Amino acid sequence: MLKLFWALPFVLAIGYYSYLNYEQFVAMNYLSMIPVVVFLVLIYPLVSFLHVLAEDRIPLYKRIYRLWLTANFLNEQGFYYEKASGKQGGRSKKKFPKVYLKQGKYDLRLYLGTQGSKFQDRFSRIGSELETTYFMDFMNKIDEEKFVVYELAYSAFLNRIEAKDVVLNDNYELVLSKVVKWSMTENPHLLIVGGTGGGKTVLLREILVGLLKKCIVYIGDPKRADFVPMEDLDVLKGRVFFEKEDIAKMVGDFKQTMNNRYDYMRKIAKERSERELGRFDTYGLKPTILMIDEWNALMASLNRNAKVGGQMIDDLLEIILKGRQVGSYVILAMQKPTYDDLPTKLRDNMMHHISMGRLSDSGYQMTFGDENANKKFRFIERLNGKKVYGRGYSAIFGLPAQEFYAPNLTAGFSFFDIFETYSRIENPHEPNYQGDVDKEDDVETQDLIDLDEPIDLPIQTLSDSTDFKTIGELSKSIGKSFGQIKKLIDVIEKGGFKKFKRDNGKVVLTEEDCLLLEGLFDSFESFDGTWKEMVSIHFDRDADN
């Protein structure tokens, strides 16, 4: 019908031309007939081209076309009532049931009437058929009082963002497109699946653009290729591993870090007299991320050492089951989530799944679960005549998958240039942290976050420090974190008010120092100003006395 709309101007043009050249036609002037023949030959391909072009470029035309698609689908599938004609030999009339179509910018809702309809049972099972009809992704089916509602998504390509725009927002949602976000607190742990060349590794790097600025990330790269060079960056120094034994140890250390964070949170909760343990960010903790690429290859390389591989799986399972509350999350990338490499208990507790490139039917089934068993997963190699990169599907586990396009890499974009601008976030809870024994976190409070970087001071080596306390020991006795005490010391030293002694590079405190710091913390609770202002007032007062 819509093609006839485009054909009408050409038919009228041919008719008008024939009218003007009627005498030539009667006289069988073949030269005058040639334009008509050419028009008749070209009219169908030309009309088809205009139809496709308008469908792609004109939103109103696309909406009208979908209305026609809906009517055609109902007619072809037999979703109509027949009413016999009152005249003998007359044609029966067709009547469609109640059907409404609501079209948005990126989605479509189809309302199918069910109350008393003879089609109500069939209407509840046509999700996959609608995907094929509209060439969209079936997102959800909602049962309402009088209708069954199908939600379908389209124009996923228009939702694509650039790699530089990947961010972790204040709600701990990693923005991967205009509509796809990984909420690490609501849907912890991310599984990325895709064959060779599908774009998994590029997506992991794009994810780092958003994570490294606000999170502590540890990376396992068994391929020794894409992430190993990043170990030279300050933000990832000592946090990238490629030997299989080192990766297994990284997982074990990450588990211990998670448990240390639990201990720290319980301690602070007890000091606050809290009955319930809160979320990690209420205790000043940053998210910690365990990212491993090519998980299948890592497990294959550990087959000869079943003890190491088995322990790593146990450690990973504990992290996935317990890590959410303390902000410890896992990202795994692999070619196929087989049971041998990723047991079902692990896979089903990784709540956000993404596929990249083309997977087999069984690969899609294992990645997105039984809820998408009837979904038609499409592999699109070209879009509007251009080769497609970074296309896949995304879903929260247990919900329908939707089409997804990974962030776009623009010309001149460099991951290393971005990562070099990020400041390193220390993690005093990790087992191998090179700091004082207490390993308290850098709690960000309003009075300390504005401090500059600690200054370099000359080290005073003491032959015997048994009469001194460490910062960690003072922290335990006064209930303040290691990070808070250390930064207060930096304020005092950088202001030139006092130099603290050091033993082998570490600050050691006399009894007088401990009383001073404890008194400053007590005074600040009732002080209306900054730490720098209070420290200055305190030492100026002592000088006057």
Q: How far apart are CA 352 and CA 319, in angstroms?
A: 16
Q: How far apart are CA 157 and CA 173, in angstroms?
A: 21
- CB burial class (10 A; 0-12, 13-18, 19+) of residue 395? buried
Annotated binding site for ATP: 194-201
Q: How far apart are CA 102 and CA 93, in angstroms?
A: 26
Q: Hey, what domains does the chain have and what are their CATH numbers?
A: 158-419 (3.40.50.300), 435-545 (1.10.1660)
Q: How far apart are CA 153 and CA 134, in angstroms?
A: 10
Would you list the DSSP string of 498-529? ----EETTEEEE-HHHHHHHHHHHHHHTT--S
Q: Quick count: other Cβ atoms within 10 Å of Cβ 26?
A: 8
pLDDT value at position 266? 94
Amino acid type, 401: A
pTM above 0.85, yes or no: no
Element (H, E) at 142: strand 137-143
What tokens appear for 202 in the block? 């590029």
Cα–Cα separations (whole angstroms), residue 355 to 336, 346, 376:
10, 17, 14
Q: 512-522 as b/e, with b when 16 or more CB fall inside 10 Å?
A: ebbebbbebee
Three-class secondary structure assignment of 322-372: HCCCCCEEEEEEECCCCCCCCCHHHHCCCCEEEEECCCCHHHHHHHHCHHH
Q: Are 138 and 374 in contact (CB under 8 A)?
A: no
SS3 label, residue 256: helix
> Tokens 């599938």 sit at which residue?
77
Q: Which residue in 406, 405, 373, 394 sits closest to 191, CA to CA?
A: 394
What tokens appear for 373 in the block? 């068993």
Cβ neighbors of 436 (< 8 A, separation 6 or more) are 470, 471, 472, 475, 482, 506
Cβ neighbors of 267 (< 8 A, separation 6 or more) are none
Q: Are 114 and 104 in contact (CB under 8 A)?
A: no
For the chain (545 residues), the mean pLDDT of every run of 10, in chain order, is: 71 80 76 78 78 70 85 89 72 85 84 84 84 79 87 79 94 94 96 88 95 96 89 92 93 95 94 92 94 92 78 94 96 90 90 92 89 83 74 90 91 90 91 52 38 37 56 81 81 87 82 89 80 83 63
Cα–Cα separations (whole angstroms), residue 229 to 54, 295, 497:
48, 19, 43
Q: How many Å is the maximal CA-CA distance in the chain?
A: 124
pLDDT value at position 251? 95
Q: Are strands 181-183 and 382-383 parallel, antiparallel or unpaired?
A: unpaired
Annotated binding site: 194-201
SS3 label, residue 470: strand
Q: How far apart are CA 408 and CA 228, in angstroms?
A: 23
